[in-house]
Amino acid sequence: MRRVLAVLRFGLRLGAVTVAIILLTVLAFRWINPPMTLLMQRAAAERGEIAWEWRSMSEIAPEFALSVVAAEDANFCLHYGFDIAAIRAALDDGAERGASTISQQVAKNLFLWPERSWLRKGLEVGFTGLIELFWPKRRILEVYLNIAEMGPGVFGAEAAAQHHYGQAASALGPSRAAALAVILPNPRERNPRNPTASRARRAAQVVDGAATLQADGRAACFLPK
């Protein structure tokens, strides 16, 4: 019996230490820029190197931030990590459409591994909640724009802008920003400089959506005042 109690106490202590480390790590990343993610490390191992340069939100064109939110998570400023309306729509469509928010994608890409599993999905929910609790929305989007894959071995807004257009992320205009945002669901297979007709139409919709977000106030949580 004593042995069982000792094991239980050890397990509780280990669990408490693990939770404390997780909480402190998530909180620290509110101010400290995170290191390479597991996805980046895998890409580096496969390709020998990756393109990645961190840029603050002030060094990324607002047009690109607007385009990414319009394309990926139009209600980003309105939800607390989970877009219930989008989840319901996905269920109505037989889960054929994605419903992950930008906050969920940050949780997955920054703290977890790429493969899908119920364990990873459960951890994703927990990390998403912590991110929303500890970070302002502008920081969540800043991290996403710096760690998202935007081409084969190309991560973040700056590397993507340089790779695809030969210009800085701060110089992206509405059209190029939208074309780049549209490749995010499948960045290894899509090229913003050579879009299909459907992606060109989608990019045009994103340009309009970005303007709408700015006009109706749904970008207030991340655009500078």
Q: What confidence tens digit (pLDDT) does each residue in 118-156 have?
A: 888 899 999 999 999 999 999 999 999 999 999 999 999
* CB proximity list for 26: less than 8 A, separation 6 or greater: 111, 127, 130, 131, 134, 135
Q: What tens digit of pLDDT does each residue of 208-220 get?
A: 999 999 999 999 9
Fill in the DSSP letter of residue 34.
P
Cα–Cα distances in angstroms (integers) from residue 189 to residues 135, 143, 153, 207, in the given order = 32, 23, 12, 22
- Beta strand segments in 47-205, E: 51-52, 154-155
pLDDT of 82 reads: 86
Give the H/E segment covering residue 187: none
Domain 37-216 has CATH 3.30.750.24: no
Domains in the chain: boundaries: 1-30, 37-216
pLDDT of 96 reads: 45
Q: What tens digit of pLDDT does each residue of 71-110 get?
A: 999 999 999 888 777 666 655 555 444 568 999 999 999 9
CA distance 17 to 27: 15
Whole-model pTM: value is 0.91
Nearest CA-CA partner of 56 in 75, 28, 32: 32
User: Does 185 have pLDDT greater than 90?
Assistant: no
pLDDT of 5 reads: 67
